[in-house]
Amino acid sequence: MLPTESRSTLRKYFRQQRNALSNAQQQLASVQLLKQCKSLGIYQQAKTIACYLAQDGELSLTPLIEDAWHRGKDVCLPVLHPFAKGYLLFVRYHPNSTLQANRFGIPEPVINLPDIIPLEEVNLIFAPLVAFDEQSRRLGMGGGFYDRTLAPVLKNALETHICGVAHDCQKVETGLKSDRWDIPMQQIITPSKIYRAS
Ligand SMILES: Nc1nc2c(c(=O)[nH]1)N(C=O)[C@@H](CNc1ccc(C(=O)N[C@@H](CCC(=O)O)C(=O)O)cc1)CN2
Ligand SMILES: Nc1ncnc2c1ncn2[C@@H]1O[C@H](COP(=O)(O)OP(=O)(O)OP(=O)(O)O)[C@@H](O)[C@H]1O
């Protein structure tokens, strides 16, 4: 894959790559990912973390979410904003949360106002992605949801830490082009390696 390929060609290719992993590979990857995260000070210290529920071959955060609950951390999930098109809300997720599928078929917690967690209160965000490169650049599903929602982290210099999460096979060896609205990831975590932004 060349960096000159269009974003849609890259998305198609890397979505196929991650969907080709077997259940056993997926399960192993999710456990290895937890191991990587446990070694990170930012994870150990975070009180509130934003995760996602894997779809379309994404690396599952289920073991990580269970570990976070076990350690008494608050976990939240992205929910498509009901009014502000293209934006996400982060909503608290606990073992008894009621989930409903959004328009992409991804389960998300039903919105109860007290469960909406303001971005300023989220210490660590695990962002799903379709492809990444050595410089921790991220290519997502194409909705611009994370870029829009996380723009205030840069603008207001929030302390929220943003980590991309991906399978090793989602790495673009030759690099990705970044656009002016792309939100930089502090690091990308895969089951075998942590890539830090330079
Ligand atoms: N697990 C997970 N949750 C997430 C995201 C994600 O990437 N992964 N998102 C990250 O932003 C947001 C949802 N963004 C998405 C954007 C496009 C498609 C998608 O399947 N697009 C179809 C076309 C669907 C349609 O328009 O009906 C496609 O490209 O084939 C899915 C999710 C919020 N929640
Ligand atoms: N901060 C922003 N403000 C306004 N529009 C934006 C912003 N960020 C992204 N967009 C728009 O969203 C569209 C999709 O962006 P991009 O291809 O970077 O999405 P993505 O990062 O792959 O998706 P996602 O974050 O949902 O996984 C872009 O064409 C851009 O016009």
pLDDT for res 3: 53
Residue from 106, 108, 125, 132 to probe ligand 1 pocket by mutation (most atoms less than 8 Å from CB): 106
Question: Is the pLDDT reported for residue 4 higher than 80?
Answer: no
Q: How many domains does the chain have?
A: 1
Residues 53-58: contacts with CB within 8 Å, 24+ apart?
53/77, 53/99, 53/106, 53/107, 53/108, 54/128, 55/104, 55/105, 55/106, 56/15, 56/18, 56/19, 57/15, 57/17, 57/18, 57/19, 57/20, 57/21, 57/26, 57/167, 58/18, 58/128
Q: For residue 1, is it within any domain?
A: no
Q: For residue 100, is it within any domain?
A: yes
Q: For residue 90, is it within any domain?
A: yes
Q: For residue 123, is it within any domain?
A: yes
- Minimum mean pLDDT range among 59-63, 81-85, 155-159: 155-159
For residue 164 the two structure tokens come to 């991309």
Residue from 181, 183, 185, 188 to probe ligand 2 pocket by mutation (most atoms less than 8 Å from CB): 181
Give the pLDDT mean for 102-121.
98
Is residue 132 within 6 Å of ligand 2 at its C-beta? no
Q: For residue 55, is it within any domain?
A: yes
